[in-house]
Amino acid sequence: MDTPNMDSLHSTQHGSHELDPDSSETTQMTFEVPQGQHTEVRLDVYITGFVQNATRSKVQQAIKDGYVKVNQKGEKSSYIVQAGDVIDIDLPKPPPKEAQPEQMDLDIRYEDDDLLVVLKPAGMVVHPAFGNWEGTLVNGLLYHTGGKDGLPQQDHDTIRPGIVHRLDKDTSGLLVVAKHDHALSELSKQFAEKTAARTYQALVWGTPEPDEGTYLGAIGRSKHDRKVMAVVGENDDPGYGKPAITHYRVVKAYPTVSLVEYRLETGRTHQIRVHAAHHNHPVFHDPVYGGDRVRYGINTGATKHLFQRCFDACPTQALHAKTLGFTHPSSGDWMEFDSDLPQEFQDVLSFLDAHYAI
């Protein structure tokens, strides 16, 4: 088997060629396999040979996660590289070794020696990740609890200390955070065994029918865009995706949108947003799943003006984790918390009430 001829490759790069675990750069490269070069090499092997410090396992994961394209298409690691192939690589920079404390104004609704309950605003990332190493909820929690020793690590994960469950960046709402290992273990067990209770409220396009029901459908990475999730199709391989169950109830219906309550039995990535969009009721102003454009009703005259006012008032997806319930890990008491909808969410509902005179 021939190895790639590095001197004959045409490439453009941004950042380093090396996959340095301590580097803050993003490795971005585009290169074309020269004509006439006899490769017979798998895609993962070819890239590993080209990028210094890249291990084959990391390259395989990058290919699986959609960070590698061949001729603008996703391919498997086993793809045999052909002369003339254009390979695009966009590998995210690695996370820092551990999250750093940052002083910030957190909306803490309850706190004791075991845990705290915090109301996360829309727009805040829960824990550090690619593109968001600072300003996350974890950074603020570390400062609040006295630094890196103030929160327990989950499986030696220094990026998500104390985090029992999470919310998407643009989803607001209640979160419980553990302050020591026993609390983390007990609370995590409740979420895994579905004994914790969570309800969300969302403004969605249209009105689900019937007014109350359950969405079933496994959720996995989209075959078309690895950065988003999708309900698994009937023709997908068995075992692809994870089972997801979402119960819903229409709280208030308008001619074009509805306020809907959701209760989760499972906690898949983007679960409510994916299930709602799959049933043609995407969350209002959700740009990822089609909620950032008018989906029901006419979009002219006074109604067009209404929609624009609503979009302006609520710059992120209208999804809020409203209630949270769990058994206290030390006392064994059942604890319940409720929260008001964010002001921007309430403003949209006021606009709708006034326009439709409900």
Q: Which of 67, 94, 92 is nearest to 226 (CA)?
A: 67
Dihedral sign, Cα of residue 96, residue 99, residue 101, residue 107: positive
Distance CA 259, CA 211 (A): 11
Place of tokens 């302050």: 179
If one counts every other C-beta atom within 10 angstroms of the C-beta of residue 44, the result is 25
In order of 9, 22, 48, 157, the CA distances from 18 in angstroms are 16, 11, 11, 24
Distance CA 168, CA 267 (A): 12
Q: What are phi and psi of 107, to 5 degrees?
A: -95, 85
- Start-to-end Cα distance in the chain: 72
Helix crossing, 301-313 with 343-356: angle to 10°? 170
**Contact 295/258 with Cβ under 8 angstroms?**
no
Q: What tokens appear for 272 in the block?
A: 């409510």
Bridge partner list, 212: 249
**Contact 62/91 with Cβ under 8 angstroms?**
yes
- Which residue numbers are catalytic? 168
